[in-house]
């Protein structure tokens, strides 16, 4: 079974912990008061079985639910170390979130060691009727998915499974390319 470290990054209060709790099945539905993440929480769980190159496989996931507070910036290299997937979370109803996501993006792109294979943006609109702030053109290449953790838990889980399927295919192909080149 594959083991995959996936890091969840983005501005403070954008919903990273709420999302991580749902994805790891720590909770069944969204709820609870805000408790700032102190540094990072690591959630370990098994993914559902996914169809990877005509095989049904699952993976052990380490989901790193990181604080969005910049006082922990000196830990960002640790957060990213050996991460193969990244979920960027922001609230599109917040002007500051949209701007701040640039900072996380720039850090990831310029990180000295980066093993990321897949990165996705979760657009977690906390104020459904407010106008949507668009992300900068930097994000044009990244998949951006609107999610709704208050009303559609199954939706976010299937988006995550698709993301994971794509990630596992890449890891699978890399592993087999390496094996081929050593024979």
Ligand X SMILES: Nc1nc2c(ncn2[C@@H]2O[C@H](COP(=O)(O)OP(=O)(O)OP(=O)(O)O)[C@@H](O)[C@H]2O)c(=O)[nH]1
**What is the rounded CA–CA span in Å between residue 14 and residue 16?**
6
Based on the shown chain and the rule CB under 6 A, indicate whether residue 12 belongs to the binding site for ligand X.
Answer: yes
Of positions 37, 144, 150, 165, contacts Mg ion by CB under 5 A: 37
Beta-strand pair 59-66/50-52: unpaired
Residue 123 binds to Mg ion (criterion: CB under 5 A): no
24 near Mg ion, rule: CB under 5 A? no
d(Cα 45, Cα 63) in Å, to the nearest integer? 8
How far apart CA 42 and CA 33 sit, in angstroms, is 19
Q: Per rule CB under 6 A, is residue 94 in the interface with ligand X? A: no
5 binds, among ligand X, Mg ion, none (CB under 5 to 8 A by kind): none
- Asked whether the beta carbons of 16 and 66 are under 8 A apart, the reply is yes
150 binds, among Mg ion, ligand X, none (CB under 5 to 8 A by kind): ligand X
Q: How far is the CB of 32 from Mg ion (least distance, A)?
A: 11
**CB-neighbour burial class of residue 142 (10 A; exposed 0-12, middle 13-18, buried 19+):** middle
Would you count residue 4 as binding ligand X (CB under 6 A)?
Answer: no
φ and ψ at 97, to 5 degrees? Answer: -60, -45
CB 153 within 8 A of CB 22: yes
The verdict on 24 binding ligand X (CB under 6 A) reads no
Q: Is 126 among the residues that bind ligand X (CB under 6 A)?
A: yes
In the complex with ligand X, which residue's Cβ is closer, 100 or 139?
100
Q: How far is the CB of 168 from ligand X (least distance, A)?
A: 26
**Nearest-angstrom CA–CA distance, 153 and 165:** 19
- Site residues, Mg ion (CB under 5 A): 16-17, 37
- Site residues, ligand X (CB under 6 A): 12-18, 33-34, 36-37, 67-69, 124, 126, 149-150
């Amino acid at each position: 079974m594959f083991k995959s470290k996936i890091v969840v990054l983005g501005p403070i209060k954008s919903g990273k912990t709420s999302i991580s709790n749902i994805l790891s099945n720590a909770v069944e539905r969204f709820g609870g008061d805000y408790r700032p993440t102190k540094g990072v929480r690591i959630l370990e769980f098994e993914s559902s079985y996914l169809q990877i190159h005509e095989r049904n496989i699952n993976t052990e996931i380490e989901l790193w639910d990181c604080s969005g507070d910049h006082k922990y910036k000196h830990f960002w290299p640790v957060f990213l170390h050996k991460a193969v997937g990244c979920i960027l979370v922001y609230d599109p109803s917040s002007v500051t979130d949209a701007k701040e996501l640039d900072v996380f993006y720039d850090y990831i792109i310029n990180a000295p060691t980066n093993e990321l294979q897949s990165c996705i943006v979760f657009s977690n609109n906390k104020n459904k009727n407010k106008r949507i702030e668009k992300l900068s053109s930097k994000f044009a290449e990244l998949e951006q998915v609107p999610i709704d953790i208050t009303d559609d838990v199954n939706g976010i889980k299937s988006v995550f499974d698709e993301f994971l399927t794509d990630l596992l295919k890449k890891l699978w192909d890399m592993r087999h390319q390496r094996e081929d080149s050593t024979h």
